[in-house]
Amino acid sequence: MPLTNQQYQDIMREYSDLRMQAEEEADRRRAAIEKSLPELPALERRIASLSVQETKLRLNQHEEEAAGVRQDLEEAMQQRLKMLADGGFSEADLAPVYHCPMCRDTGYITRPDGSLEKCRCFKVRETRVLYHQSNLEGLLEQQNFDTLTYEYHTGEDLSHLKGAVSICRDFVNSFETNYRNLLFCGTVGTGKSFLSCCIASELLKKGHSVVYLSSQSLFDALARERFGTSADEPYDFQSSLYDCELLIVDDLGTEMTNSFVETQLFALMNERALRRRSMIISTNLTMGDLQKRYTDRVASRILERYDIVRLTGPDLRTLR
């Protein structure tokens, strides 16, 4: 399930607390430095005053006077650097030390075009909340590469599983450098969801943002975001689907398919491909079934952009 507005606000309050802690610690360091260097505050007031003077002169197009003030400003700034260095300090000692230097503990970074984008640290927090909410953390403790076993497979089924595991490990190892998508297909209980969890577990350990949803939960949430009116509806769920580093959609084909589902699935696959964000889909459907159920354009996207991993064998859930 996606974040609710309340969960989003909780994350933003956590960022606010982190910023406050960093700024309070910076204030304590500054007080200690100023005690050691009592002339520093007066010099910093002079630097601030010169900076304001220069700005006003340039706005009024007094370039020659502004250049003179700028020279005085640069000399004062050099004097400040020397004063700090002589005292065994640096400019960094006066600045807040944020947990995330990318977003400065705001949760967002600014793109070159001026728009805001969720920082990676926000996506990790978002994923943490989602997994706690869905109890997937407990599932990943049971379904990972360490608990993988080959004891129920023989012959060709065993070859298929070993080949699939090799693909999964390579997917994890090359995740940061190689954009790929996977489609796990096969009958019920052949290990498709298990291998998806193996990948999710490894990438989460490395700090990547992963969203794992059943197909039915995915489209139900998208429908609520599109048509819902509750104040506790998910916050910007579609953006989370587009931006997370890996999106896993489990059991595609178990949802009730209609024109809304077909449109949303195609848009999701297409937008993530444009952003080069990886996606994993598992399904019990064959490629022919996918084509009939979701139209040619969805099937063609899968054939063009997904590595198809076929799993065969007995229903492992029954055997276990």
Domain that holds residue 14: 5-109
Task: Give the H/E segment covering residue 116.
Answer: strand 116-118
Residues 91, 236, single domain; the answer is: no
DSSP assigned state of 151 = T
Q: Which residues pair with 212 in a beta bridge?
A: 248
Q: What is the pLDDT of residues 31-71, one digit of tens each?
A: 999 999 999 999 999 999 999 999 999 999 888 899 999 99
The answer as to whether 129 is a domain residue is: no
Instruction: Give me 89's structure tokens.
Output: 């300090």
Instruction: Give me 178's structure tokens.
Output: 């190689």
Q: Residue 235's closest CA among 5, 38, 57?
A: 5
Residues 190, 227, single domain; the answer is: yes
In this predicted structure, the answer to whether residue 113 has a pLDDT above a threshold of 70 is yes
Where is average pLDDT lowest: 4-8, 60-64, 227-231, 258-262?
227-231
Quote the mean pLDDT of the chain. 87
φ/ψ of 37, rounded to 5, equals -125, 80
CA 76 to chain centre: 42
CA 304 to chain centre: 25
Task: Give the H/E segment covering residue 184.
Answer: strand 182-186
pTM of the model: 0.65
Confidence category of residue 249, pLDDT binned at 50, 70, 90:
very high
Residues 212, 257, single domain; the answer is: yes
Quote the number of domains for the chain: 2
The answer as to whether 284 is a domain residue is: yes
Give the pLDDT confidence score for residue 108 in this predicted structure: 94
The answer as to whether 114 is a domain residue is: no
In this predicted structure, the answer to whether residue 221 has a pLDDT above a threshold of 90 is no
In this predicted structure, the answer to whether residue 320 has a pLDDT above a threshold of 80 is no
In this predicted structure, the answer to whether residue 179 has a pLDDT above a threshold of 70 is yes
Give the pLDDT confidence score for residue 177 in this predicted structure: 94
Where is average pLDDT lowest: 32-46, 169-183, 234-248?
234-248
| Alpha carbon separation from 41 to 22, 75, 252 (Å, rounded) | 21, 16, 64
Instruction: Give me 45's structure tokens.
Output: 């007031």
Residues 142, 98, single domain; the answer is: no
Residues 87, 151, single domain; the answer is: no
Residues 244, 160, single domain; the answer is: yes
Task: Give the H/E segment covering residue 288.
Answer: helix 287-305
